[in-house]
Structure 1
């Protein structure tokens, strides 16, 4: 049991074995000084006068996380999410309240924070893993798995200062997730690295969820929070606004961000009023169906089924309409097919509040035997910026009784004749 507590408020050990994280009246206050010498004045006056102003990054937060539960944490930048995660990890001390954490905890807050740039990748694997609590024998046993997952074996004996940012992230993530923690904290770590590695990373975290690990998943991708988490927690200005099922929390948070019609009218009437979602867009709902049957795991046969993908989004109405894209991938090896509204000159329609819906139909889907993953993207009008994505929103299990090679069955015609 790892526990953070204040000297003035002793905390008894958590006897409920079903609870992985117990947070009670947790607060964190920072003292902000206008000028550097105000710190000296504050010290000299010994508290008789106050030369700082208080900033409450977190104030009176209470919640519990059950063992094996996945908790999504959402909120705008500066809402207190990172402060909360650092308090849970023990890298920050609370101003009041306490936290009880049961089991080994690993946090993906700043990948590679324990790396020494002068050391080789091999040396940093042992350094970082030992910081995370593994013995040398345990690191030896997991070393090959760490290297294999990172995919940078040929650079392993080079100093990490020579690594690209992608290589750095690959190795750091591989080490951090090799510890086999009881509790994993993820703070936007899935947004780093290339597409293939991001998919591998998410698959590894998904496998940890299936193994019954407790996961705290902090993300700006509300769709991922809805699809991946058991419950969600919304923070704003350091206060817990809502703690419930992901769909209910995301719905309330979305209304808070976008505002109702009255708020939108006020913004239009007052040019100085700024929307909370200015410059952003997000996926609000994605559904995949095969012959009308909607789900995450769908079964079909080559050329016999119609695939339909329904995408709903919300966006800043002051921005150009976003681009919607869909990829169909064969595992993590290749993209079999993709469509993009931008390249096909499809006009995306929206309401005055920036909401819209797109339906993409693939008649007589010509995929052959195998598992294919559907991913949806919401991008800027020029496709340079990815606003949001829904990774592997559905898996298509295509069964083909004919042992023919290839991934797709292309439309074709046969012509035959007898010749002399």
Structure 2
């Protein structure tokens, strides 16, 4: 009897010792689920966030990655890049459209293994902007390829991108396909309807899980902002506006600072988003340098042409397509012209106008005479009464003359010497540098 009692005690102790390990084993059986938010414009910044988040999920042994989607779309190139990293991932993926997956959001959604939609959600309207035949053809091919790989209805997907596609009883010609949750479910385009992420997990047979919502870093948020299709052309415009202001004002000031900030952020967004390389920045700087060299010399020649070509080519290299680059440059050009015109209209009313306008009375009573072919001024010395960059005004024997610097910037009030006369053009250098 005593022996039976001792055996019972030993058995109970063994059970008590084993219980913690058993519960630990149960805890370890929870499936790791990672949530990646797609709740903004699809940009290079969002691609960077999704790529790093997927890598993190793979490294930490996640069994499922859920993309929580609510987007109006964005850049096609970024959507394609996001689609590629999803397709290449070894982890099971599911798209949960809790509100909308519009335009480029369609490609992100159909790249996942499963698609679930919340009640009242929508998916579709994926036409490219601009809707050129070339763009639509490429985009339809991309959508069709991914749809085929994931077993989705290719006609439904392509009808979301091309209004010329008609599907009887679903969408008529001339309209883009846009499906509600109930319509998508009825057509078998999605795998189910779910009111929450937890309902998605249970529908996939996951009862025990630990959910980790991967938050974007401040740097990724910053890249997402500066690479936005709305912000990028504004940064480009800021760079050009600052450059123009710097050229028309003496010394290095606020214009130069704004120019550096605008151009730096524009190229940073493209480079960090994976759309450009440092070569585009080097080419842009070379273009600026050539324009500065051209500005220091009379006329407009090869340096000016190469400078403009270098800047344009660098912007094209930093953009996802030629079309997007042209749109960016057009927006930047229009904004630059508008702002510069406003500057010229407002500055004369302010003290700062003195840095842009010649504050000298050029009447005949003040000794001003036109600069004609006056060879007698060769080798004569005078004083700059305005900045010469390269053209400006000089004074010789109380006569105000139009003059051009021979290849260098000349400050106001510096002593100059006439080195030659070409027609009505007087060419000068700083005194002592002949």
What TM-score do you get using the length of structure 1 for normalisation?
0.24
The structure whose RCO (Cα within 8 Å, separation 6+) is larger is: 1
Higher gyration radius (CA) = 2
Q: TM-score, normalised by structure 2?
A: 0.23
Q: In proportion to residue count, which structure has more helix?
A: 2
User: In proportion to residue count, which structure has more strand?
Assistant: 1
